[in-house]
Amino acid sequence: MREALFLLLRLLTGLGGAVLVIITLSAAIRSFVLPRNESVRLNIFVFGGVRGLFDFAARRVNTYAQRDRIMAHYAPVALVALPIGWLALVCFGYTAIYWALGIETWTLSYQLSGSSLLTLGTTPDKRLIINIFNYSEATLGLLLLTLLLSYLPTLYQAFSRREVVVAQLDLRAGQPASAAGLLAWLGHDGDFGNDNAQWLAWEHWLVEIDESHSSLPVLAFFRSPQAGRSWVTAAGLVLDTANLLFSALDVPHSRQVELTFAAGCLALNRVYRYFDHKAETTPVELRTEAEQAAAGPGRAEFAQTWLALGEANLPLRADEEVAWQHYHERRARYAPALEFLSKLLMAPSR
């Protein structure tokens, strides 16, 4: 009876180890191969644990520059920790399998698993079934590392394309960067109808953010090379500029500006929804009107922007209060997402 129970325990342990290996392999495939924003709970645990350590360190410093230097390392460290976590789980799963197949102790099973996973070959076994699992574990170890190495070029290419536009916006929007400054740059010749090429480029950029930052979510946490820049604030700058063009200026605008504005709202809200339920925040539709109003600039800040537009000799609408109402209504379409992502990513304020 005791012997039968012991054999059953070995069998269940081996099955558990096999399930753990399958779950880990599935997480790797859904992270690096599947071209959509699949939620992988195993990855969330790894990134969440690393983020907790970085948040603890960031809270111990006093300036934004210091926090930015700390958080700049978060995404690279978390990305390296991810395959390490996968390899550890695969190693543990095969340890259970080897013990179920008759290896005498857990220590010997672990040594055999580690030797096979890292292709060291320091702990051989002559049994055929053990060797089959040895080779499968070595293959999985190489596969996981290969997936990571093939993933990095795609990640950094998307990062580079994103940051080129962020830097361009920073140059065009004045110092400090503002939507009023960007509008003044667009309307330097008094004509807002000849900027379709620029708005189209920004539309392409926002669409790519929508695709890349949801299918490659770690990309959202890679910070700009310059501490004062962020893709979140840059996206908000484009949307605020389009919003002011619609609401505050008495000039015609093209359909391309409307398309760019719609693309930006969709991009920010899709990335926001991907991260929001993991951070246990209140969904947009459940927030009070006061909470949603607090997400954007207030009436006094809009008045300052109105003055800046007037000083730039841009054609303003007749009624500032009506312009504010229109601006505020449109900003509710993206302000909660912008606020959430700014806090999540510790983006610099404009």
Average pLDDT, the chain: 87
- Write out the DSSP string of 229-298: --HHHHHHHHHHHHHHHHHTB-S---HHHHHHHHHHHHHHHHHHHHHHTTTTPPPGGGS-HHHHHHTS--
> pTM of this prediction?
0.84
Task: Give CA–CA dist 77/280, Å, rounded.
Answer: 24
Task: Give CA–CA dist 187/250, Å, rounded.
Answer: 12
Task: Give CA–CA dist 266/300, Å, rounded.
Answer: 28
pLDDT for 275 equals 87
Give me the half-sphere count of Cα atoms (radius 13 Å) on the Cβ side of residue 216: 22
pLDDT for 222 equals 95
Structural domain boundaries in the chain: 2-148, 173-344
Q: Which of 135-149, 191-205, 274-288 has the lowest mean pLDDT?
A: 274-288
Phi-psi region of 222 (alpha: psi -120 to 50; beta: other; left: phi over 0): beta
Q: List pLDDT tens digits, range 289-334.
A: 444 444 456 888 999 999 999 998 899 999 999 999 999 999 999 9
Q: List pLDDT tens digits, range 131-188.
A: 888 888 888 888 888 888 888 888 899 999 999 999 999 999 988 889 999 999 998 8
pLDDT for 278 equals 47
Residues 250-265: what's their mean pLDDT? 93
Task: Give CA–CA dist 85/91, Å, rounded.
Answer: 10
Task: Give CA–CA dist 323/306, Å, rounded.
Answer: 9
pLDDT for 36 equals 67
pLDDT for 140 equals 87
pLDDT for 201 equals 96
The CB density around residue 123, as the number of other CB atoms within 10 Å, is 17
pLDDT of residue 284 exceeding 50? no
As given in the structure block, the two tokens for residue 104 are 């005498």
Residues 199-226: what's their mean pLDDT? 93
Q: List pLDDT tens digits, range 40-75.
A: 888 888 999 999 999 999 999 988 889 999 999 999
pLDDT of residue 335 exceeding 90? yes
pLDDT of residue 283 exceeding 70? no
pLDDT for 50 equals 94
